Amino acid sequence: MSPHSLKRFLAGVAVAAVSLPGLALAEPTCVYVMSKVDSVNVTTPAVAVVVPDSDAESQPVGIHLDEHEQVILGYSVRIPGIDLGTEGDLVFVPGISQNVPSISVTIPELDISPNRCINVDGVSTPAVPVKIPASVLTLPGATADVGAIIINIVGHPVTAPGKVITFDGKTIIIPEQNSGVPSVPVGTPNQSITVDVNGALQTARYLPPNG
């Protein structure tokens, strides 16, 4: 899939979710946003939304974690033009922040759209939107094909080919829908996603959405 085709695909599925939020078939395939928080790689379901670079200054939602990066405590909506800077670039906010009074308990309370996607087991799950700057899709090396993404989050490991997009310290993992096959890789941690990014094997702790 070329960068142009990938951009069109990602934008299309996000628009479908906005237009028909009540229909599971209209929901996009889940992607998984992976970031390093302190020394731990974590990941959670997301909806990729390709936007102009000028609209990508701040991620729309902050995901607030406990001090051990094991649980999603809640979410906060960032205000465009106000919540900028380094923290605005982050998806995962480490530790308990006392400076964000608008943390919501669940994703539906955020009142955002899109807010659901189809997981690897074909089930609709809560998710947060993640902005991808359009220019990233044309940068050499930013998008790569991956032969095997190992996803162990639905009670048994599955593997699927797909793509990864890397930018600003984040990795967006995009498994192909309906192509997963049962697999039992040796030593695959439970509740994890493993992917080979540029020759480096990365495993992230999967954090179930608070939805």
Say if residue 12's pLDDT is above 60: no
Q: Report the range of poorest mean pLDDT among 22-26, 51-55, 97-101, 166-170.
A: 22-26
Say if residue 60's pLDDT is above 80: yes
Specify the pLDDT at position 179.
60
Q: Which residue has the tokens 């039992």?
A: 184
**Which backbone phi and psi does 113 adopt, to 5 degrees?**
-145, 135
What is the helix (H) or strand (E) element at residue 167, kind and residue range? strand 158-167
Summarize pLDDT for 65-124 with one digit per residue, the tens: 888 888 898 888 877 655 544 455 678 888 766 566 567 778 888 888 888 998 887 889
Specify the pLDDT at position 69.
86
Specify the pLDDT at position 109.
86
CB 33 within 8 A of CB 91: yes
Amino acid of residue 115: N
Q: How confident is the model at residue 186 (pLDDT cuts 50, 70, 90)?
A: low
Helices (H) and strands (E) in the chain, counts: 2, 14
Specify the pLDDT at position 120.
81
Domain boundaries, the chain: 3-206
CB 183 within 8 A of CB 120: no
List of residues 6+ apart from 77 with CB closer than 8 A: 60, 61, 102, 110, 111, 112
Instruction: Tell me what percent of the chain is helix, strand and coil, each rounded to the nearest 5.
Output: 15, 40, 40
